[in-house]
Amino acid sequence: MASEELFEAEFSEEQDLEHQQAMETEEAELAETEEPLEITEESPDNPEAESTTEQLTEKPVTNGNKAPADNEAKMTQLPLARIRNIMKLDPDLHMANNEAVFIVAKAVELFIASLSRESYTYTAQSKKKTIQKRDVDMAISAVDSLLFLDGAMNF
Amino acid sequence: MVERIEDLNLPNAVIGRLIKEALPESASVSKEARAAIARAASVFAIFVTSSSTALAHKQNHKTITAKDILQTLTELDFESFVPSLTQDLEVYRKVVKEKKESKASKKDSNTAENANASATATAEEAPE
């Protein structure tokens, strides 16, 4: 019994060590991958910020600790990786740091809320409770800052 | 073309939740309306990105920063977004900083735990 407990303890310790080494390896690889570009183009503060944020992103996959994932979930509801991929559709974009991706994600959330409320004003005018596509279309037509959406909605 | 369009898609569940949070409880949204808003959101993201890229080029730097995005939003007539985004950015920076610090302290405590475990193992072996 005592020896079994001892063995289990050692085994779990080894597992923790392996896990930690795996994570450290990932971090090292990440640093190696990103560092050359960052050294050339970004201030010293940014590489660390990016590195930390990448870890935030990685946490959910490892399932090591739920708290950070919750933190991230509260900060943005939209997945940052998806936002970054959308941003990369711009062929002229060279690189965006993590703060920029975060701000775009938050801006998109505000945009969705704003467009939803604007659309709902047309729904309410019709004495309805369900927003229809035509309500969204009318909202887009009515707001000057949404001119960029003309034509873009028909692809 | 198909691949490009699919790349634009944001997760439907998140879009639905964001829309619902913005509206009175009695309101609902048709599928077509939700799809239209989701598409508009993706186009908005690209629009802001390409405008920020152009701005950054004028200022001779290649990496887009949060500052570029905020300035671009002002120029695109979305200045009403800027105050709350500035606040969010401060929170974000704080979280990133705390995360880094807690990770450093976690490593220290792990080392301490290993030392304790070794001591315990040694103590258990002594009676035998």
E strands present in chain A: 95-96, 130-131
Same domain, residue pair B17 and B35: yes
The two three-digit tokens of residue A81, written as one number:
């990786």
The two three-digit tokens of residue A61, written as one number:
């996959």
The predicted structure's pLDDT at residue A68: 41
Phi-psi region of B30 (alpha: psi -120 to 50; beta: other; left: phi over 0): beta
Among the partner-chain residues B32, B96, B121, the one whose CB lies closest to the CB of A53 is B96
Q: Which residues in chain B have their CB less than 8 angstroms from residue A6's CB?
A: 121, 124
Is residue A105 over pLDDT 90? yes
Is residue A56 over pLDDT 60? no
Is residue A12 over pLDDT 80? no
The two three-digit tokens of residue B105, written as one number:
């302290």
Interface test with B, best of A86, A125, A129 (most B CBs within 10 A): A86
Rounded Cα distance, A46 and A99, in Å: 9
CA distance B62 to chain A (A): 6
Answer yes or no: is the ipTM higher than 0.85.
Answer: no
Question: Domain residues for B40?
Answer: 1-77
Other Cβ atoms less than 10 A from the Cβ of A100: the count is: 26
A123 near A130, Cβ under 8 Å?
yes
CB spacing of A129 vs B27 below 8 angstroms: yes
Same domain, residue pair B56 and B95: no
Q: Where do the domains of chain A lie? A: 80-149
CB spacing of B93 vs A99 below 8 angstroms: yes
| DSSP summary character for residue A1 | -
Share of chain A above pLDDT 70, in %: 50
pLDDT in tens, B67-101: 899 999 998 999 899 999 998 998 999 899 888 88
The predicted structure's pLDDT at residue B113: 63
Among the partner-chain residues A71, A108, A136, the one whose CB lies closest to the CB of B95 is A71
Which amino acid makes up residue B81?
A: F
A105 near B42, Cβ under 8 Å?
no
Three-state secondary-structure class, residue A139 = helix
The residue that leads in pLDDT, A54 or A131, is A131
Q: CATH number, domain at B71?
A: 1.10.20.10
**Domain end: B57, B77, B97, which one?**
B77
Same domain, residue pair B85 and B72: no
Same domain, residue pair B43 and B106: no
A41 touching chain B per CB within 8 A: yes
Long-range contacts of the stretch B26-34 (C-beta < 8 A, 24+)? B26/A129, B27/A120, B27/A123, B27/A129, B27/A130, B27/A131, B28/A129, B28/A130, B28/A131, B29/A116, B29/A130, B29/A131, B30/A130, B30/A131, B30/A132, B30/A133, B32/A132, B32/A133, B33/A119, B33/A131, B33/A132, B33/A133, B33/A135, B33/A136
Which of A39-43, A83-87, B107-111 has the highest average model confidence (pLDDT)? A83-87
Going by pLDDT thresholds of 50, 70 and 90, the confidence category of residue A3 is: very low
Which amino acid makes up residue A16?
A: D
Same domain, residue pair B7 and B58: yes
CATH class of A80-149: mainly alpha
Q: CA of B51: how far to CAs of A112, A148, B69, in Å?
A: 19, 11, 8
Rounded Cα distance, A81 and B99, in Å: 19
Is residue A141 over pLDDT 50? yes
Same domain, residue pair B106 and B121: yes
pLDDT in tens, B108-123: 787 776 666 655 555 5
User: What does residue A4 show for φ and ψ, rounded to 5 degrees?
Assistant: -60, -45
The predicted structure's pLDDT at residue A152: 72
Same domain, residue pair B51 and B110: no
Same domain, residue pair B6 and B69: yes
B112 touching chain A per CB within 8 A: no
CB spacing of B85 vs A2 below 8 angstroms: no
pLDDT in tens, B35-61: 999 979 999 998 999 999 999 978 888
Rounded Cα distance, A17 and B107, in Å: 12
Rounded Cα distance, A153 and A143, in Å: 15
The two three-digit tokens of residue A105, written as one number:
């994600």
Those residues whose C-beta lies under 8 Å from the C-beta of residue A4, and which sit 6 or more positions away, are: none
- The total of structural domains in chain B comes to 2
Those residues whose C-beta lies under 8 Å from the C-beta of residue B99, and which sit 6 or more positions away, are: A52, A55, A56, A68, A71
Among the partner-chain residues B11, B62, B117, the one whose CB lies closest to the CB of A94 is B62
The predicted structure's pLDDT at residue B117: 60
The predicted structure's pLDDT at residue B31: 84
A19 touching chain B per CB within 8 A: no
Minimum CA–CA partner of A80 in chain B: B10
Among the partner-chain residues B28, B50, B63, the one whose CB lies closest to the CB of A95 is B63
Same domain, residue pair B16 and B46: yes
Interface test with A, best of B74, B75, B81, B90 (most A CBs within 10 A): B81
Among the partner-chain residues A20, A99, A135, the one whose CB lies closest to the CB of B89 is A99
The predicted structure's pLDDT at residue A154: 60
The predicted structure's pLDDT at residue A113: 97
CA distance B108 to chain A (A): 13
The predicted structure's pLDDT at residue B100: 81
Same domain, residue pair B72 and B93: no
The residue that leads in pLDDT, A76 or A15, is A76
The predicted structure's pLDDT at residue A74: 53
Is residue A22 over pLDDT 50? no
Q: CA of A29: how far to CAs of A26, A35, A89, A92, in Å?
A: 5, 10, 26, 27
Which of A7-16, A31-40, B20-29 has the highest average model confidence (pLDDT)? B20-29
The predicted structure's pLDDT at residue B7: 56
